[in-house]
Amino acid sequence: MEKRGLRFQYKWLKVFPWLSYSEKFNGAFCKHCVVFAFAGGIGSQRLGSLVLTPFQNWKKATDIKQKKQNRLKLIPIIECIILCGRQEISLRGHRDFGSIKFNNESDGNNSNLNEGNFRAILKYKAKDIDYLKNHLESKSRNKYISPQIQNEIITICGDLILSKLVKMVNSSQCFSVLADETTDVSVKEQLTLCVRFVNGTGKNAKLCEFFLKYVEVHNLTGQHLASTILERLNSCGIDCSKMYGQGYDEASNMSGKFKGVQTIIRNKYPRALYVHRAAHTLNLAVSSSCEQHILLEAIANSDLNPSSKSLKRLCATRWVERYTAVNDFVELFPCVVEALDKISTTFNDKSSTDASMLVKFMDSEFLIALQIVKVVFFHGLPLCKCFQKNDIDLKETVQLAECNVSMLEDLRQNIEKEFKSMYNEAEVY
């Protein structure tokens, strides 16, 4: 140790307030432990270094200090990631690599590039923390800010949150499991697993419903889904013997009386009563499905090169959205027909029957009516957009309304010419 030139550092006394140095013993002691520690130690742990004998392993001391400094740098990085999570904002930007620069002039023309919320918040935070700023500006390769490190920290946070939720569920003595299957954007079947329980007692009791995790499934039979739900609950640490309720949709594989998920789980846990989740209609309205994937494939493989890449719902209140929905449908009509034909022959359920009926209903009368609706919505579009403005001008709005009336009157007076134009457009399809 003498040959390497390692010795006690005076600055350690500032870093560790409990530390003291003995020149007589040429070593370090814990001044609190020396005065107040029990002579025999605590339990099986005997007193030794820093208490009865001097600490002289300076190499280990520097390692401890380095670990403490690394942890100190990591804390604000973790705090920024947690902040983004709590505020439900994305971490990534257009540039998530390279060093974080604090001098805009060094960025040249790229000073306005969006580095993402995480890097922007961290950069702002570092202005008031010198050691963090020095760390981010250093040439060290281990800065703990890469997307991979971000994902690791997010995963750790998720595990910690899950463990707290599990503890709350088990302490509630009873809970209900809520599950629904949907297809994500990559056309993978996923099971959304949630729990519902009462937290607290008396006046402090509160009904809680929390999401646990997504589970990818490859088999949609009731037996497989029931096994998956129970396995995942057990893997989380939840005591399934406290399950008093089940909430799923009315699909036969979930609600079936013989082979449905609710029946299989109830055979094992008789107190877990099944209640239909009526709110699953919302999920059906917004989730991606296998049928929708067929339409997306038809659009992607089309030679039309349409401006729109998907269909939109016909909004009941916003007329601006109605025009967009109708216009996109007209533009994608060949792709829609192709997708419906494929659905009618691919599936052997209600969706195939519905697809066949829809194709038959798209006759000449339907196509002409579609063109008429498109023209009417188009004429009202400028006025609708004007109504959407925050700083709407009354004079401009009145003028647009009068212009709208004038265009509709002109449409009626020249109905034969206009209808022929609409008919020709419908005839293309």
pLDDT tens figures, 58-72: 777 767 667 777 888
| More confident position, 385 or 263 | 263
H and E: helices and strands count for the chain:
17, 7
Residue 241 has pLDDT above 90, yes or no: yes
Question: What's the pLDDT score for residue 350?
Answer: 72
Question: What's the pLDDT score for residue 2?
Answer: 45
As a whole number of angstroms, the distance between CA 119 and CA 91 comes to 8
As a whole number of angstroms, the distance between CA 28 and CA 51 comes to 9
Contacts for 261 with CB less than 8 Å, ≥ 6 apart: 179, 222, 225, 226, 229, 246, 248, 253, 254, 255
Query: Across residues 43-66, what is the average pLDDT?
Result: 74
Of the listed ranges 11-20, 38-47, 80-89, 250-259, the one predicted with least confidence: 38-47
211's torsion region: left (phi>0), alpha (psi -120 to 50) or beta?
A: beta
Pick among 2.30.30, 1.10.3470, 3.40.1000, 3.30.420: CATH of 169-284: 3.30.420
Query: Across residues 342-356, what is the average pLDDT?
Result: 78
Query: Across residues 398-419, what is the average pLDDT?
Result: 86
- Helices 261-268 and 222-236 cross at an angle (nearest 10°) of 50
What band does 44 get if pLDDT is binned at 50, 70 and 90? low
Query: Across residues 176-189, what is the average pLDDT?
Result: 81
As a whole number of angstroms, the distance between CA 365 and CA 426 comes to 9
As a whole number of angstroms, the distance between CA 99 and CA 92 comes to 15
Check if the beta carbon of residue 375 is closer than 8 Å to that of residue 320. Answer: no
As a whole number of angstroms, the distance between CA 295 and CA 197 comes to 40
The SS3 call for residue 94 is coil
What band does 267 get if pLDDT is binned at 50, 70 and 90? very high
Check if the beta carbon of residue 116 is closer than 8 Å to that of residue 144. Answer: no
Residue 415 has pLDDT above 80, yes or no: yes
Question: What's the pLDDT score for residue 38?
Answer: 63
**In the chain, where are the structural domains located?**
12-56, 63-145, 169-284, 287-427
Residue 129 has pLDDT above 60, yes or no: yes
Q: How many CA atoms lie within 13 A of 243 on its CB side?
A: 25
The SS3 call for residue 179 is strand
Query: Across residues 349-358, what is the average pLDDT?
Result: 79
Give the single-character DSSP code of 37: S
Question: What's the pLDDT score for residue 108?
Answer: 46
Question: What's the pLDDT score for residue 194?
Answer: 93
The SS3 call for residue 124 is helix
The SS3 call for residue 210 is strand
What band does 51 get if pLDDT is binned at 50, 70 and 90? confident
For the chain, what is the mean pLDDT?
81
Share of the chain above pLDDT 90, in %: 21
What band does 195 get if pLDDT is binned at 50, 70 and 90? very high
As a whole number of angstroms, the distance between CA 229 and CA 191 comes to 9
As a whole number of angstroms, the distance between CA 210 and CA 263 comes to 24
Question: What's the pLDDT score for residue 287?
Answer: 46
Residue 162 has pLDDT above 90, yes or no: yes
As a whole number of angstroms, the distance between CA 342 and CA 346 comes to 6
As a whole number of angstroms, the distance between CA 426 and CA 110 comes to 50
In degrees to the nearest 10, what's the CA dihedral of 187, 191, 192, 197? 170
Q: Please tell me the pTM assigned to this model.
A: 0.52
